[in-house]
Chain A
Amino acid sequence: MDFLIFQVPMLTLQAVLDGLLLGILFALIAYGMALQWGVMNIINIAQGDLVILGGYIAYFMYLYGIHPAWGVIVSPIIMYFVGVIIYKLVINKVVDRDLFISILATFGISILFMQLMNFAFGADVVLANSGYGTTMLFDNSVTLPNSKIFSAFISIVFAIGLVIYMKKSKLGRAIRATAQNARAAKILGVDTEKVYAATFGINAALCGVAGALISITFTIHPYMGLPYTIRSFMIVIVAGLGNLPGVAMSGMGLGVFEEFADYILGTEFRIGSVFLLLVLILVYRRFKLSRKREYLK
């Protein structure tokens, strides 16, 4: 059964398309992470849990008879405020500290969120149905659920919207200034405290959008956040901070990589292969870095 993917050409196409659609969604989550990592120097372990919380918002709308697609509007609004509250309560106390402290703090938030969601929503696996149907290509041999296409489309819209916002708006400029040099920005009159809160809020809002999309394409469960954190961490590591096209490319690359790993190595190695890739990339970066230092000497 090995390498069935190379015997059936349509499977290859299916894997590439599935991977791309999945990757675009990952990229959206990773973009939020890259943003607040770049601005605040905080690695947010609770990223995936924010995604899941966003998913629950869409799920509850669905439960009350509202089409879950509206979740992509409602969920980010609620999540923005959730993000700002988390910032005010916890993150502002660790923002200038060592990276390790922020990892611990967000790890704590992650555990807290998992337990709270489990407590509030129960441990059942849930999903919201969009009823969007399926696009069939090549005589039904390649199928693309419309919900996945919708997810990718919405992700792109939000990503582009955010790029424009960061370039044109006052807050966007303030965020970029703070990212470049927080002290200088402060001296020039930027309220960095406000910028940090807004950045964390925007990140949470992006997670909210992604969560809503995940609830209509996949499933939601209180303990399912971590794989999303890992993937976005991985995408950001590959792309580097502040490299938006890089985030999009590495997101899609990771999506396709996962799909192919699934076909070639087996489904059981799918998430494992992401970890392996992460290790390889970190080792490679480290290697490159050590070379550079020698050169500087």
Chain B
Amino acid sequence: MKIKNIIITFVSAIAILFSTSVVSFAKVVGDKIILGAAISLTGKYSSNGVHTQNGYNMAVDRINEMGGVKVGGKTYKFDIIYYDDESNPKRAAQLAERLISQDGVEFMLGPYSSGLTKAIAPVTEKYGVPMVEANGASRSLFTKGYKYLFAVLAPANLYLDVAIETAVALNGGKGVRIAQAFEQDAFSQDVRLGILDAAERTGSKIIIDDKLPKELNDMAATLAKVKAVKPDVLVVSGHTKGALTAIRQIAEMKVDVPMLAMTHCDAAKLSKQHGKNSQYALCASQWHKTLTYKDDFFKDGMTYAADFEKLFGYDPPYQSAESSAALLVFKDAFERANTFDQKKVRDALAATNMQTFYGNIKFAEGGQNVDKPMVLFQVMCDDAGKCENKVVAPLKWASAELIHPIPKWSER
């Protein structure tokens, strides 16, 4: 009798344990598809981490409101488990491991930045967990042969490609002289490789090639060299810090260059800190609200921007838009796969070919989006000192004409 009781207790204990673990080990609980994401909510990427999270959340709410995801004749809603990766790659990899092996997540959304995506990708790859990421553009992510990594954004080496081509076109097809300064991080160095490619293709010459250390907040030496050798194009990429430092010191040192091309220079931020000094800077962007791409969920860029502002109280940066697009890609892939089998979802993701408000999305072998060109905008200010980003290239979406060459400081 006693032994029977013990056996019953033991068996039921195991049954309870098993049933609870089944619940917590499912990626689809009831009518919910649970996605996992490690996001930088603290640490040095926290502002862009929040933009990413806002983009994800807005898309989740929108897709759920508009009927959710239909798989196998049943409707599911999205839900996301977030963890704070503290802007630390090691932590991000640990959290990915935890999301997959403890929380049982079977589909992942990407973190913010190339560095953190690089840390997470080997983990998702190991477990065969499809990850759609929206904020890791480094080229090296797409050359490692990852099968489960998909990026909705254009790779980093294409960021400023357009600028060099535009400069060459304006120079009558002849090569130009390029001065460049790039921070020493994965992303900026990829942008640099893109410029080297473009220079070779167009017969342009690189006459200054500086690498900026991460801690640097003084570019005076680079700019003094630029003043001395007078290049046709100055290219700077070093996240927001690089953009802010460059604009400040170019204005202070009165450096005249016909074209200034940068990354991470959002007019709102630049003009808030620098007023009209930021005028005429060319800026590479994944997305701009005036682009005319369309989808059923967010309609178009302008509507997306208005809705986003209503929710979060600020104009959406492209980091938010691309994050929202990642959810649209997942929804589309789930519905086409019509199952939650990871391998089939992965195949459906690989076959993605769609348009979203953010741009066309079609993945190459390596997982990068090859169907969406970068846009280039120029910071333009009115007399009152209010500055705006105006798209100037590619010409198809241009809302303003490129001002070239940049007027000299003595004439401004």
- Mutual binders A and B: yes
Where the two chains meet, the residues of A that have a C-beta atom closer than 8 Å to any C-beta of B are 1, 4, 8, 10-11, 14-15, 18, 22, 115, 118-119, 122-127, 129, 134, 136, 140-141, 143, 145, 147, 218-219, 221-224, 226-227, 259, 262-263, 266-268, 270-272
Q: Find chain A residues with CB under 8 A from B220 CB.
A: 14, 18, 259
Using known A-B contacts A4-B229, A118-B44, A118-B46, determine if residue A268 contacts B254 with beta carbons closer than 8 Å: no
Known A-B contacts A118-B44, A134-B252; A125 and B222 likewise in contact (beta carbons under 8 Å): no
User: Are A272 and B221 in contact (CB-based, < 8 A)?
Assistant: no
Instruction: Enumerate chain A residues within 8 angstroms of B269, measured Cβ to Cβ.
Output: 124
A129–B240 contact, CB under 8 A?
Answer: no
List chain B residues, Cβ under 8 A from A221.
44, 217, 241
Nearest chain A residue, comparing its CB with the CB of B221 = A262
Q: What's the least CB distance linking B164 to chain A, in Å?
A: 19
Known: A18-B224, A268-B184. 11 other contacts (CB 8 A): A11-B228, A129-B275, A134-B253, A145-B253, A218-B217, A219-B244, A262-B221, A262-B222, A267-B210, A268-B213, A270-B213
Q: Given A263-B225, A266-B210, A272-B213, answer yes or no on A122-B252 (Cβ-Cβ < 8 Å).
A: no
Provide the residues of chain B in CB contact with A14, threshold 8 Å.
Answer: 220, 224
Let me know if B7 is at the binding interface, CB within 8 A: no
B45 is an interface residue with CB less than 8 A from chain A: yes
**Bound: A125/B245 CA distance, A:** 9
Q: Is A267 a contact of B221 with CB atoms below 8 Å? A: yes
Query: Of A11, A15, A124, A224, which is within 8 A of B217 by CB?
Result: A224
- Closest Cβ neighbor of B275 among chain A residues: A129
Query: Which of A10, A115, A222, A271 touches B213 (beta carbons < 8 Å)?
Result: A271
- The answer to the question of B215 belonging to the interface, with a C-beta cut-off of 8 Å to chain A, is yes
Q: B209 at interface (Cβ–Cβ under 8 A)?
A: yes
* Interchain residue pairs A-B with the least CB separation, the first 6: A145-B252, A268-B211, A262-B221, A125-B241, A218-B217, A267-B210
Chain B residue contacts of A119, Cβ below 8 A = 42
Nearest residue (CB) in B for A270 is B213
A118-B43, A223-B44, A267-B212 given; A125·B244 CB < 8 A: yes
Is the pair A219, B213 in contact by a Cβ cutoff of 8 Å? no
Q: What are 19 contact pairs spanning A and B, CB under 8 A?
A: A8-B228, A10-B228, A15-B221, A118-B44, A122-B46, A123-B46, A123-B87, A129-B274, A134-B252, A136-B254, A140-B254, A143-B227, A221-B241, A223-B44, A224-B215, A262-B221, A267-B216, A267-B222, A268-B211
How many angstroms from the CA of A24 to the CA of B225 in the assembled complex? 23
Closest chain A residue to B229, Cβ basis = A4
CB distance A271 to B224 under 8 Å? no
A-B pairs with beta carbons under 8 A, tally: 109
Query: What CA separation (Å) do A12 and B217 show in the bound complex?
Result: 21
Which residue in B43, B209, B221, B245 is a CB contact (below 8 Å) of A1?
B209
Kindly provide the distance from the CB of B277 to the nearest chain A CB, expressed in whole angstroms. Answer: 9
Instruction: Answer yes or no: B207 CB below 8 A from chain A CBs.
Output: yes
Which residue of chain B is the closest to A268 with respect to CB atoms? B211
Find chain A residues with CB under 8 A from B199 CB: none
B181 at the interface (CB under 8 A from A): yes
Are A219 and B217 in contact, CB atoms less than 8 angstroms apart? yes
B218 at the A interface (CB under 8 A): yes
Taking a contact as CB atoms under 8 Å apart, the answer to whether B210 and A118 are in contact is: no
Return the chain B residue nearest A263 by Cβ. B221
- Identify which of residues 271-285 in chain B touch chain A, using a CB-to-CB cut-off of 8 Å: 273-275
Q: Select which of A4, A122, A224, A226 is within 8 A of B47 by beta carbon.
A: A122
In this assembly, does B291 line the interface, its C-beta being within 8 Å of a C-beta of chain A?
Answer: no
**In the complex, are the beta carbons of B224 and A123 less than 8 A apart?**
no
B44 touches A267 (CB 8 A): no
Chain A residues with CB under 8 Å of B184's CB are 268
In the bound complex, what is the Cα–Cα distance between A126 and B240 (angstroms)?
A: 9
B218–A22 touching, CB < 8 Å: yes
With A123-B45, A143-B252, A219-B244 known as contacts, the answer to whether A268 contacts B273 (CB < 8 A) is no
Give the complex CA separation of A222 and B46 in angstroms.
Answer: 12
Q: Cβ of B372 < 8 Å from any Cβ of A?
A: no
Please indicate the chain B residues that have their CB under 8 angstroms from the CB of A259 in the complex: 220-221
B364 within 8 A of A: no
A270 and B216 contact, CB distance less than 8 A:
yes
Min CB–CB distance A204 → chain B (angstroms): 21
| Contacting residue for B253 out of A1, A143, A227, A272, CB 8 A | A143
Binary contact readout B231-266 vs A (1 if CB under 8 angstroms, 0 otherwise)? 000000001110011001100111000000000000
Q: Which residues of B contact A118 (CB under 8 A)?
A: 42-44, 46
Return the CB mask of B97-127 against A: 1 if under 8 Å, else 0.
0000000000000000000000000000000
Indicate which residue in A11, A22, A122, A226 contacts B224 across the interface (CB closer than 8 Å).
Answer: A11
Q: B71 interface residue, CB < 8 Å from A?
A: no
Determine the residue in chain A with the shortest Cβ distance to B210: A267
Q: In this complex, what residue of A is CB-closest to B225? A: A4
Given A143-B252, A266-B211, CB of A219 within 8 Å of CB of B245: yes
Q: Say yes or no: A271 contacts B215, CB within 8 Å.
A: yes
Is B26 positioned at the interface, with any CB of A under 8 Å from its CB? no
CB proximity to A under 8 Å, residues B187-213: 207-213
Report the minimum CB–CB distance from A55 to chain B (whole Å).
11
Partner of B181, one of A126, A267, A272: A267
Q: Which of A11, A22, A123, A147 contacts B225 (CB 8 A)?
A: A11
Tell me the chain B residues, 6-45 only, with Cβ under 8 Å from chain A. 42-45
Instruction: Write the chain B residue with the least CB distance to A230.
Output: B215
Within 8 A of A (CB), among B123-160: none
Given contacts A123-B44, A123-B45, contact A134 B254 (CB under 8 A): yes
Chain A residues positioned under 8 Å from B239 (CB to CB): 125
- A65, B184: Cα distance in complex, Å: 35
Q: 1/0 per residue B278-321: CB within 8 Å of A?
A: 00000000000000000000000000000000000000000000
Contact A268 B212, CB 8 Å, known A118-B44, A119-B42, A127-B244: yes
Return B239 CB to nearest CB of chain A, in Å.
8
The answer on a CB contact under 8 Å between B273 and A267 is no
C-alpha spacing A15/B87, complex, angstroms: 36
Kindly state the separation between the CA atoms of A114 and B273 in the bound complex, as whole angstroms.
22
CA distance A124 to B213 in the complex (A): 18
- Indicate with 1 or 0, residue by residue over B384-400, a CB within 8 angstroms of chain A CB atoms: 00000000000000000
Distance of A144 Cα from B227 Cα, bound (Å): 13
* B209 partner residues in chain A, CB cutoff 8 A: 1
A143 to B220, CA, bound (A): 10
Complex: how many Å from CA A270 to CA B274? Answer: 26
